[in-house]
Chains A and B, each alone.
Chain A
Amino acid sequence: MAQTSKEKNFVSCVIYLHNDAETVKPFLANICQVMQDNFEKYEIVCVNDGCTDNTVERIHAFLEEQEQLKAVSLINLSFYQGVETAMNAGGDLAVGDFLFEFDKCSLDFDPALIMQVYRRALEGYDVVSAAPKHGVALSSRLFYALYNWSSHFRYHIRQERFRIVSRRAVNRVNQMNVYVPYRKAMYMNCGLKTDTIIYDNSAAVHKTRNREERGNRSGLAVDTLIIFTDVLEKFSMLVSMILLGFLIVMFGWIIYSIFSTVRPVEGWLSLMALMSFGFFMLSVMMTLIFKYLAVLLNMNFKKQRYVVEGVEKLAK
């Protein structure tokens, strides 16, 4: 590509890294190549989310080999904090007009897709995602189905590999919230135009996700469903309906026993059973309310979103 046709926009690439020693070098090489070929000015922000392998050494090694690389920074989180928190840190450090967010250091897409996504953004979409067609875990599919069913937002979400976000959308999301628990949902609901490009990744489907990550994700899934959807209300409504049903049955039974000649002492037993069941349901409700409150607290008061050990400038 000729020098003159390079894009003038300043883009930032935020790359999430968690024990990605195997993939980090080719991944960075590909991203940097695309950036080098297409953009006049760009920066790379790597977020090291508590890597315990030699991912960071690999990055340093990669940069040693690179002559042309302009600006690369590395955020070292103090300990493992999960992809959402880590990417928030990366996004806060990035300065570009557009932000590429690579949630996973895995190259199951054609590097040309990056520019395809970028060009789509230029058509007037503030958020454009690249979503893999295959290899989405069942649990994830279930989550997205539940989410999309119970949220009232314009755009549906799905599993994404990376996305581009305009500075405008980032500002909007930061204006709307103190705490960003789940970026994807935020971007989709910030009121700006969004789009998704689905790519065929059937050639490179692999499921590697550690257990830590899975625990983190399921906690996140619950938070997200509670914050962004009315699934909780629907659920508590359902519980109340069941309780109501039992009450009606109970009431019917009392009326029946008044007119019936049978006055069993056993009635006490069933009454007790019913009462304990009722209390159980109440406690379920309480748990949910507490959870709800916890999330509200988090959104309103939690100021420090991540714990950073330090920011390194790796190359210029």
Chain B
Amino acid sequence: MTRTSESKSDKLIIGAGLYGLYAALYCGKKGQKVTVLEIEEAPFTRATYINQARVHMGYHYPRSLSTAMKSAGYFKRFVEDYGFCIHDKFQQIYATSAHFSWTDAQEFRKFCKSAEIPCMDLPAGQYFKSGVCDGAFLTEEYTYDAHILRDYLLEEIGRLPNVELQFGREIHRIVKQSDCYEIYAHYEAAEETYRAPFVLNATYASVNQVLRRVEGIETQDFGLKYELCEIILCKVDERLKGIGLTVMDGPFFSIMPFGKTGYHSLTSVTFTPHKTSYEATPQFPCVKEGICSDYWLGNCNQCAKRPESAWEYMSALARKYMRDDYPFTYESSLFSMKPILKASEIDDSRPTVIKRLETDEAAPTTFISVLSGKINTVYDLDTFLDERGSQST
């Protein structure tokens, strides 16, 4: 027996990651009726939690000044707004590898100057083995704690009776009607229908899969590839505790504090991605064996079929660079799916891409899809969320 239920709201948000909850709170505060649909049983279980937790200031993009400058602009705002979840009591050190790097010390200095972000020379030999890095720089960059941020957002949203978070919802159809979108979702045994004139698709790795569920209007995939990524959490001792190290710009690694957890996250460009899918939607051989449903991806981090850890490779790479007096040991691994815009490979930029399905500005319905690899560019959503705001309140 299937039960059915229907609900109508001003805005429907798919995905309870940072972008989804941020949008929910933003619109909720304006008095709009917002419903968030999430496939997981809790918010922040995938990419928002499972990433380097870096609050980007732009250092990461020495080949894309535009990405760097935008990150720097949002950095300040994010730190002001969400200071409580930010860990800034450590030295973030960027170094340029002597070999195989797309940039060098001089270029990096120049880049920081152009992007107007702080950068101070440090002796590379203090942190790295002799000859492996040609420059080391003290920078200003922080890390955020996803769980503290989640709890804050949940608390804020909890105060708003007009915002509803619906977990465990598996969407199977999205139909465009003349004045609204209808989303059909399964929840336990029930069949639910949600209606709203505005839909935000903030599902990150599932963005294309959501788009392909839309009927009644033409959709276009994001040009993506997918990487199944591993972040390793490490135990470090006092010496490394106050330091984050990032070696640029090529097949290198980063070991830096992971929010306020006390652990360091270890990632590497070569070994963090375990498997890659070049299809428009994530296609991996493990999908059939693991916890993925017929259509949607499961949570890689909770899947028994997740890959074996690349700890030996990543730690060997890090040890090749780091001085032996900064020891670190394995604690656990986190896995998540990361979509990468195909266009960004050459300049390594990470633009926030926001697409709307309706070509007509004045259309009564709006379907927006957002894809961004950084948390502090969440403010990019504001203008799009305001679009419909005035009408419904």
- A contact set with B: CB distance below 8 Å: 10, 40-41, 43, 70-71, 73, 89, 92-93, 95-97, 167, 171, 174-175, 305, 308, 311, 313, 316
Contact = CB atoms under 8 A, between A and B. Distances in A.
B320 A167 contact: yes
B130 A316 contact: no
Given A41-B312, A71-B313, A93 B130 contact: no
22 contacts: A10-B312, A41-B312, A41-B313, A73-B270, A89-B99, A89-B100, A93-B100, A93-B251, A95-B316, A95-B317, A96-B316, A167-B320, A171-B129, A174-B130, A174-B131, A305-B99, A311-B100, A311-B251, A313-B270, A316-B271, A316-B275, A316-B310
Contacts of A167: 320
A175 B130 CA distance: 6
Contacts of A70: 313
Contacts of B317: 95
A151 B270 CA distance: 41
A247 to B, nearest CB: 48
B338 to A, nearest CB: 15
A308 B249 CA distance: 14
B132 interface: yes
Interface string B89-116: 0000000000110000000000000000
Nearest to B317: A95
B169 to A, nearest CB: 34
Nearest to A306: B99
B185 to A, nearest CB: 36
B63 interface: no
Given A167-B320, A308-B100, A313-B270, 9 more contacts: A70-B313, A93-B251, A95-B313, A171-B130, A175-B131, A305-B99, A311-B100, A311-B250, A316-B274
Given A171-B130, A174-B132, A97 B99 contact: no
Given A92-B100, A93-B100, A10 B316 contact: yes
Interface of B: 99-100, 129-132, 250-251, 270-271, 274-275, 310, 312-313, 316-317, 320
A10 B312 CA distance: 8
A96 B320 CA distance: 8
Contacts of A171: 129-131
A71 B271 CA distance: 9
Contacts of B251: 93, 311
Contacts, number: 44
A70 B310 CA distance: 10
Q: Is the interface of B mostly helix, strand, loop or mixed?
A: loop
Closest 7 CB pairs of A and B: A92-B99, A174-B131, A41-B312, A95-B316, A95-B317, A175-B130, A10-B316
A93 B130 CA distance: 16
B316 A97 contact: yes
A43 B314 CA distance: 12
Contact of B313 (A43, A174, A175, A308): A43
- Candidate in A95, A175, A305, A313 with the most chain B CB atoms within 10 angstroms: A95
B131 A95 contact: no
A103 B250 CA distance: 25
Nearest to B250: A311
A174 B129 CA distance: 10
A165 to B, nearest CB: 13
A233 B335 CA distance: 62
Nearest to A73: B270
A254 to B, nearest CB: 59
B326 to A, nearest CB: 16
Nearest to A41: B312
A166 to B, nearest CB: 13
Nearest to B99: A92
A10 B315 CA distance: 10
B348 to A, nearest CB: 13
A122 B246 CA distance: 33
Nearest to B311: A41
A73 B131 CA distance: 23
A47 to B, nearest CB: 12
A11 to B, nearest CB: 10
Contacts of B129: 171
Contacts of B271: 71, 316
Contacts of B131: 171, 174-175
- Candidate in B100, B310, B312 with the most chain A CB atoms within 10 angstroms: B312
Contacts of A89: 99-100
B320 A95 contact: yes
B238 to A, nearest CB: 25
A95 B312 CA distance: 10
Nearest to A10: B316
A119 B310 CA distance: 26
A124 B317 CA distance: 23
Contacts of B270: 73, 313
Contacts of A40: 312
A93 B253 CA distance: 13
A35 to B, nearest CB: 13
B99 to A, nearest CB: 4
Contacts of A92: 99-100
A223 B100 CA distance: 25
A175 B132 CA distance: 9
A92 B130 CA distance: 13
A71 B312 CA distance: 11
